[in-house]
Structure 1
């Protein structure tokens, strides 16, 4: 039974999102009446978001489904400073051009999850560079700086840790709290936004914004954070041996995305079904009650639901079919990640190590050779033991493709064109 009466907070609580709330009773009343407006900020440090950001995106989706208005704040301005939260050293500064390119790529990740438009509950995307870059330094200090004390700012965990460890903490980074707090004030003024949502590592920044709205404009503002997600074994959510699990299909194919969810640890299945799908709690309880080998049914349900939401039902079905073909009969399937190769390269023979690198199964030929040496490389399901082995036209199967496998879970096709 939820302690909340609003649909939005009830959903977040029953599905396990909420860690901290600034004013629970007042926020619940705000969410239960009218159209609550909430935002989450995303800095543009890469040209795609990865699964680690999916928790925040899902919260905005639940807000919109409960009758609220989501604001996606792109940090075109704050990215120029770099979020120091939980960072042991300063991030490299990006150019304006790099930030703009990253924002263009990130926008694609939101389209499957939110409905954008001009309606009262339609999501909007804004860029804090539109106001931050126009602020004169003296004006910022006079309007915003007077509401922040050095005493409070130095108590923030990130600041205190860097100072205690005698690690550099630049004056530029020190301003990040003020800039993020000003974002909240600006969105409060422009859009009537009264709620900021984020991961629990953003709690200090969020509270700073809540306080600024109250001190500067006398407004009511609220903050809500979600748990930072790690796997049952302690790993970071969205990180694999193959790198980050990106949301954009050009960075991570639907099949690879499906496989990521299919490979969820047993202990995480129920939790991930609640957080990353919209299956009912009743359905989830039935799936997480499965034991032994039957838990694979729950993992497939998780993979199908998560992939359908991002890439569509057809892509999820194709991925499940491809996985069944690969792991069942050992055959190949067009839904596998595919890289093209000139037929002439196979006519002249191509090192297997080079083929693995071309297919994205290794970052370098040296890494591919180590896979071979470890007995983790296969061509058309046959083990490769010679580090200098080559592919030829004779290795092409149906569809003029060679199936390459790194370990038991990573597969790709190299297709001759």
Structure 2
């Protein structure tokens, strides 16, 4: 088997392939150009979006050329795959803004050089389409009966599928067709929920550009999907108690990003090392054979370093050590400011935990205290009616609050 495909399989990036042997043979003969798409329905990617882009980097390492397609056109509709209801429509201006932010995130991760890796926006060829011409030229190549057999549509038909979403598969297939003609793209990669959309593109290229044996050889097209990444507890990868784990620091702090990986379930550690780091398998096996908590800390550090850089990964690790062991750099912990005058007058402990963002309400804070899960500067808080004053400040003139075993916050006075 081709070494690049073998590596993808070994690391967990392989679910289905339209013609594995033919693709392997082609990749042995020459570099292939492939693409992976994402729709800019929000201002930031989250870590669950990144699986295909880690695969992109592996394929690029083996000499193949990758295109990140940012769906400034398809985001105007929304992909029904894996969704229980129609996406909320957002303005074209917001989509364009999201495109630029996501392109910058991917450039930082991939490093677009315009040759071995580049970004495209399908708004370029979708926004100005003539609908009648598109139906005649592209829609005529699709069978509604076949489309309805795909899981993405079957699930949504039970709950309600809008006509605008029904068109999505045609547009994604058209993306593949356009990239094939523009850049010679012969492979689309993505999550397994994209199988129907990907194979529709493979079929469209064959229908539009195939025919003779010579033409079929010149216009080979393939699809490759990855398993949908689930956690050991059955929940979707990339979700935390606070919601999605975003790449944008303003949405998910570097400390919280680090802690997400530090707190993954034991059975997920080796799998996530393979998917979300570039360490060799032998090194991963060695790390995971040792202390599991040390392995989790290494996983958190490696992924944070890849996404946010070494300096911020060092800071997040130092902040975690300060929070959990009293060592390290407290300034790297999540920090909030609190009015000095309020502390000098005495502030209710419940109010302090809410202001620090550790509890959503006084009621939640009260339950935390009553359950023995709240502490101030390492001392458990026993009285939910207690008031915190300047006498409770630590030697640095600060508070360190803890909620449960994993949530910490540093409070500084202003």
Deviation (angstroms), 1:91: 1.7
Deviation (angstroms), 1:314: 2.5
Choose from 126, 141, 147 the match for 1:147. 141
SS state at 1:73 partner: strand
Deviation (angstroms), 1:353: 3.9
Corresponding residue for 2:215? none
TM-score (norm 1): 0.90
Alpha-carbon displacement from aligned partner over 1:51-77 (angstroms, at most 9, x marks no partner): 111211211111222222221111112
SS state at 1:190 partner: helix
Q: How far apart, in 2, do the equivalents of 1:153 and 1:281 lie?
A: 39
Deviation (angstroms), 1:162: 3.0
Alignment of 1:213-292 (within 5 A): 213-218=205-210, 219-290=219-290
Corresponding residue for 2:7? 11
Deviation (angstroms), 1:30: 2.9
Choose from 199, 203, 211 the match for 1:207. 199
Choose from 107, 123, 126 the match for 2:120. 126
Instruction: Please tell me whether residue 413 in structure 1 is matched to residue 405 in structure 2.
Output: no
Q: How far apart, in 1, do the equivalents of 2:362 and 2:26 lie?
A: 57
Deviation (angstroms), 1:341: 3.4
- Is the CA contact (8 Å cut-off) linking 1:196 and 1:222 kept in structure 2? yes
Corresponding residue for 2:166? 174
- Is the CA contact (8 Å cut-off) linking 1:19 and 1:225 kept in structure 2? yes
**More displaced stretch, 239-248 vs 351-360:** 351-360
Alignment of 1:2-151 (within 5 A): 4-5=1-2, 7-118=3-114, 120-121=115-116, 123-151=117-145
SS state at 2:128 partner: coil
SS state at 1:35 partner: coil
**Structure 1 segments of 4+ aligned residues over 6 angstroms from their partners:** none
Deviation (angstroms), 1:112: 3.6
Q: Unpaired segments of 5 or more residues in structure 1?
A: none
SS state at 2:337 partner: strand
Instruction: Please tell me whether residue 308 in structure 1 is matched to residue 300 in structure 2.
Output: no
**More displaced stretch, 75-84 vs 383-392:** 383-392
Choose from 370, 374, 379 the match for 1:377. 374
**Aligned CA distance change for structure 1 residues 325 and 193 (closer, same or farther; 3 Å):** same
Deviation (angstroms), 1:404: 2.1
Corresponding residue for 1:161? 155
Q: How far apart, in 1, do the equivalents of 2:97 and 2:361 lie?
A: 26
Q: How far apart, in 2, do the equivalents of 1:138 and 1:257 lie?
A: 47
- Is the CA contact (8 Å cut-off) linking 1:35 and 1:67 kept in structure 2? yes
Deviation (angstroms), 1:170: 0.8
- Is the CA contact (8 Å cut-off) linking 1:232 and 1:267 kept in structure 2? yes
Q: How far apart, in 2, do the equivalents of 1:267 and 1:396 lie?
A: 40
The number of residue pairs the alignment matches comes to 406
Q: How far apart, in 1, do the equivalents of 2:227 and 2:250 lie?
A: 29
Q: Unpaired segments of 5 or more residues in structure 2?
A: 211-218
**More displaced stretch, 345-354 vs 262-271:** 345-354
- Is the CA contact (8 Å cut-off) linking 2:46 and 2:247 kept in structure 1? yes
Deviation (angstroms), 1:410: 1.4
- Is the CA contact (8 Å cut-off) linking 1:274 and 1:284 kept in structure 2? yes
Q: How far apart, in 2, do the equivalents of 1:105 and 1:343 lie?
A: 37
Deviation (angstroms), 1:132: 1.0
**More displaced stretch, 395-404 vs 34-43:** 395-404
Q: How far apart, in 1, do the equivalents of 2:348 and 2:175 lie?
A: 53
